[in-house]
Structure 1
Amino acid sequence: MFPTGRTTLPYTTPTVIAVGPLLRELLIACTEPGLAPAERRRLLGVINDRLLRADITALQLPTARDPRLAAACRLVLQDLSQPRTLPWLAGRVGVGERQLGRLFRAEFGGTYPQWRTNARIFQVMIELSEGATVTQAAHRCGWATPSAFIDTFTRVMGRTPGSYRG
């Protein structure tokens, strides 16, 4: 819909945009088949104007405050293709497994596997937006099979990775 490099928004990373009813309807209207080029240009102009006024939040993973948890997160994020377990992480950062699990729950509101899934989904969204295939993104971010990745992505995001990539 929007040519690469020609966006109104100053963001170069994935971004969450609160889309109100008007902007939603404009986006839907802009995808109608057989839309005349002049009408499409006018719709895109209004969409760009509304995007400038939209509530925008940069999409990012939460940052750990505890240095041990931050170190564990860095280890995971350095190579998402490796299935790092909680015991492995705990041993590397010098904290007990139960304590590390408590840190994940206290700081991120969930378990280590939940945080890791979110981290993998976050990275895969970047990979897909940069042109990676679904299979490439799945393997780079640690899924054993594309079907397991598609299932997880669809459950978390509410749509398939192929539709997100498109």
Structure 2
Amino acid sequence: MSRSGQGVAGDAASAIVVGSFELGSGERYDWHDHPLHQLAWAARGVLAVSAAGRTWVLPPTRALWIPAEIRHAVEASRPAMMQSLYFHARRCPIAWPEPTAVGVGSLLRELIGYLARPDLAPDPRARAEAVVCDLLEPLSVTTIEVRMPVDVRAKRVADALTANPADRRTLAALGRAVGASARTLARVFVAETGMSFGQWRTHLRVRAALAYLADQTPVSVVASRVGYDTPSAFVAAFRRLAGVSPGAYFSDR
């Protein structure tokens, strides 16, 4: 569902319109698009935004530029406040064709709140809008993708592990629960996800860890919550997939 027309500050004369949306725990805005460019930002909490076959996890220090007409979905695993900026395409100097992560520093954060004021006069609004565009700089971010299998039995395994990434059952044990042999499931995972089951599970665990890391949960706690026996094993797996340590992933550098 899309609520881009609700809770919006600004008017037709504004180059940038601000929308504020409260999301409850587990709430999701399903696939939709807008005629305007969007900058999706979590003023509070953590958002997961999916678009163009990728998913970005966004703490308040990071936002995602979503070009006009690009279908996307937004989800919050815990309560969050999304404040989105909507840019009129013909009046926007930014023309990034793909979804692009940007850093959100203190100045940009204050400007978003400033532009959300419904009583802001046209001249100061125009000046603030120009500064916002100057502050948007791309970040290089590696996203961790997890393709889900279609086979009914493999999907039941995938759904169970998505709900509980700390589940340490072997593929044989999981297969007994869904009525399939480990060999059959292993073959299905390779055919339908492009990864071995072990690789797929690692991707799932690392992606699940991102929401905890974005919420500043200690690495030792995150490791346990996503199924690793030791923090060092988790850090090693994370670094292999993301190219950086868990502590560095959400750095703006």
Q: Which runs of 5+ in 1 are unaligned?
A: 32-40, 52-57
TM-score, structure 1 normalization: 0.69
Offset, 1:97: 1.3
Give the structure 1 partner of residue 123 of structure 2: none
Structure 2 partner of 1:150: 235
More strand by percentage: 2
Structure 2: state its 5+ residue gaps.
Answer: 1-19, 21-37, 50-54, 57-63, 66-95, 97-101, 106-128
- Shift, 1:47, TM fit: 4.2
TM-score with structure 2 setting the length: 0.47
* Residue of structure 2 equivalent to 1:163: 248
Partner of 1:72: 157
The letter for the 2-side match of 1:102 is R
Q: Is the 8 A contact 1:13 1:59 kept in 2?
A: no
1:13-162 to 2 correspondence within 5 Å? 13=48, 15-16=55-56, 45-48=133-136, 61-162=146-247
SS at match of 1:9: strand
AA aligned to 1:62 is R
CA root-mean-square deviation = 3.5
SS at match of 2:48: coil
Distance in 2 of aligned mates of 1:83 and 1:154: 21
What code does the residue aligned with 2:213 have?
A: L
Residue identity (%): 27
- CA distance, structure 1, for counterparts of residue 144 and residue 204 of structure 2: 11
Aligned residues: 141
Instruction: Kindly state the Cα deviation for residue 126 of structure 1 after the two structures are TM-superposed.
Output: 1.4
Higher helix share: 1
How far apart in 1 are the matches of 2:152 and 2:166?
A: 23
- Distance in 1 (CA, whole Å) between partners of 2:240 and 2:151 is 30
- Return the offset for 1:42: 7.0
Structure 2 CA distance for aligned equivalents of residues 59 and 42 of structure 1: 33
Task: Quote the offset at 1:150 in angstroms.
Answer: 0.9
Q: Is the 8 A contact 2:144 2:203 kept in 1?
A: no
User: Do the aligned partners of residues 72 and 46 (structure 1) sit closer, same or farther apart at CA in structure 2, a change above 3 Å counting?
Assistant: same
